[in-house]
Amino acid sequence: MKKYGLLTGAVCLPLLFACSENNSVSEKTQADAAAHKEVANESVDNADSRGLTQSDIASGVDYHSFSNPNEIRVTHLNLDLTANFDTKQLVGYAELQVERASPQFNDLVLDTRALDISEVTAQGKPVPFTLGEKDKDLGTALSITLPEGVNTVKVAYATSAEASGVQWLTPAQTAGKEHPFLFTQAQAVHARSFIPLQDSPQVRVTYNATIKTPESLLAVMSASNDPDTPRDGEYEFTMPQPIPSYLIALAIGDLKFKAMGERTGVYAEPALLESAAKEFEDTEAMLEVTEKTYGPYQWDRYDLLILPPSFPFGGMENPRLSFITPTVIAGDKSLVSLIAHELAHSWSGNTVTNATWRDLWLNEGFTTYLTYRIMEMIYGNDRFKKEAVLGYQDLQNDIAALEANDEILAIDLRGRNPDDVFSNIPYEKGALFLREIEHKIGRENFDAFLMQYFQDFAFKSITTDTFIAYLEDTLLAQYPDKLDAKRINTWIFEPGIPQDAPKPESDAFVKIDKTRAAWLEGSVKAVDIDTTNWTVHEWLYFLNNMPTTLSTQQLEKLDTAFALTSTQNNEIAHSWLMIAVANKYEPAYDRLYDYLVSIGRNKLVKPLYRELSKTPDGKAFAKRAFEEAKPGYHPLTVKANEGYVQ
């Protein structure tokens, strides 16, 4: 199957280097923008001839980047930045090494957002540059005219204090309350807010970095981190594997390190270090079983960084150092599927990457599928089944709420903010698609396919069309009696869940359904429900499948029996607070307020703001909480929720 490592023909779009690895840019097709479009159109025509319907989207074209990697491509980045916590700015320079598709190309186009560009030089001399018009979602194009034969350029700049990909926290907003904290979040197109670069997932770069900080703080990056490095205010990093820009990450704070295994460890503020290390102590075992099933881990170490609670996501798969929300430290390992997910990205996403944001499902669908498999291998089949059912219900909820176009795996995001791609569609629908293939050809055969897939496309960024071509030449050819192109087309290009798709089931949840029904009909009292052996999964299923309307008396009995308002499990609290808001259960509102102002994870706070906004009183409550929380929220959390409080 090695022949699939570099696909030929239009499907792979060699002009965009979406499938390139070792071939230099000079060996690629030399073409102008017109040829670029012609090749893209040919890709669609060829795909149609194979019986797999495509949209009119030019495959491999990144509609969310101003950059021109088809002409000049950035291949390496040298960063030298100083973190100024007083002005909330990163100040320094980015030196970019490039390769030209042809000597005739001299204009390098980079992506920026609200960067103060002070100077651009090549070989120590200023070179002409211009900034384009500002786009609210994409920022501003930075066009640089390179001297002939020069392939290195240095951009001196400073970030904005409101950079969309950087959050500066005061000491009061941290666990230790003594030192400030900084962290970046580059996905989807926020790297351009703190580095001028070609901010497209199809452009992979290696990088080195020098980061200067106050001496009391430690800097860590998505690169080689030395746990024993002295705290001297200057830190050096190297990332030898080529990665897309959205995986470049930096954090600075009062951080300590604790090893969890030979290749795994955790960085956290001192107050969280021991609890985090205990909670995530199975990370090394997860790494080992994933290697056995899907091939070698190719990133040296796998460490975790526990961020302050304002982090807008559950986790971010920054290579070598996943960024993790503290909201999953539950004390009982009940929420560690998040760790399995971010680890799985080391194969699907970081090693094999989506070429554009239309293709995100190639990252998240594969990773979600691997997550379920890792959890099954470590914690058993029963837990896998329960988590799969909960994931399926999340998917159904999103399908009920989304427009048809947003239910498609290969989504059309043209003219939209790429952050709009994030829903349960690329995650859970993508995983369900892969689970169907597994069921049809057998787990052992599908595992062998995935291992080869990760090997053939290692350190490449690919499109949906590339994957389809690969699938046709492998599984569709090997199992023509079990797989067909029409069914695959339905999964990838049609909304919703295809008919007869696999539906996860759990015997444990059948019992929960009976218990809930008995309580609702009054034959069982809340205090008599035996929850001794319930895990977080039983609790979530019990609460998430309650009727829309419950009486205050019913809620009081549940709360009295199980102290749900005061639960310290953030996932259970979220489900309970959603019920409380829907039914105006005021005894939970103090906890609701504290919850909203202390947590910035969008998965947890956005549904609450949305539910509160449905009534005038609820919206007023939400506005008060939002205004207090806003200074500590990440810019992405602010953007996602401010519409509910206006």
pLDDT of 5? 27
Task: Check residue 197 and report its DSSP letter.
Answer: B
For residue 341, give both structure tokens.
């997910």
Which residues does 13 contact at the CB level (< 8 Å), separation at least 6? 19, 39, 40, 43, 59, 60, 355, 463, 465, 466
Between the CA of residue 52 and those of 359, 429, 465, 469, what are the distances in Å? 16, 19, 9, 10
pTM: 0.87
Any idea which residues carry the catalytic annotation? 342, 427
Give the tens place of pLDDT for each residue, 227-258.
999 999 999 999 999 999 999 999 999 999 99
Question: Sign of the C-alpha dihedral, residues 96, 101, 105, 108?
Answer: negative
The sign of the CA dihedral 322, 326, 327, 331 is positive
> What's the rounded Cα separation, in Å, for the pair 34 and 31?
8
Q: How far, in whole angstroms, is CA 339 from its chain's centroid?
A: 13
Q: Where are the alpha helices (DSSP H) in 190-279?
A: 270-279
Biggest distance spanned by C-alpha atoms of the chain: 83
Query: Nearest Cα to 244, choosing from 191, 295, 196?
Result: 191
Q: pLDDT of 299-338, one tens digit each?
A: 999 999 999 888 888 899 999 999 999 999 999 998 999 9
* 75-90 tens-digit pLDDT: 999 999 999 999 999 9
List the domains of the chain with CATH numbers. Answer: 74-254 (2.60.40.1730), 344-493 (1.10.390.10), 508-645 (1.25.40.320)
Least confident of 58-62, 276-280, 507-511: 58-62
**How large is the C-alpha radius of gyration of the chain?**
25
- DSSP letters, 309-320, are TT-SSSEE--TT
For 322, how many CA atoms within 13 A lie in the half-sphere containing its CB? 29
Over residues 552-563, the pLDDT tens digits come to 999 999 999 999
Average the pLDDT over each of 31-45, 195-209, 389-403 and give the range with the smallest value.
31-45
Question: Token match 């030209």: residue?
Answer: 100
Half-sphere exposure of 413 (CA within 13 A, CB side): 24
Residue 38 has pLDDT above 90, yes or no: no
Confidence of residue 421 (pLDDT cuts 50, 70, 90): confident
- Tens digits of per-residue pLDDT, 289-301? 999 999 999 999 9
Banded model confidence at residue 182, pLDDT cuts 50, 70, 90: very high
Q: Which two tokens stand for residue 499?
A: 């008919």
pLDDT for res 18: 33
Q: What is the pLDDT of residues 7-33, one digit of tens each?
A: 222 223 222 333 333 333 222 222 333
- Mean pLDDT, residues 203-214: 98
Q: No. of H helices and E strands in the chain?
A: 20, 21
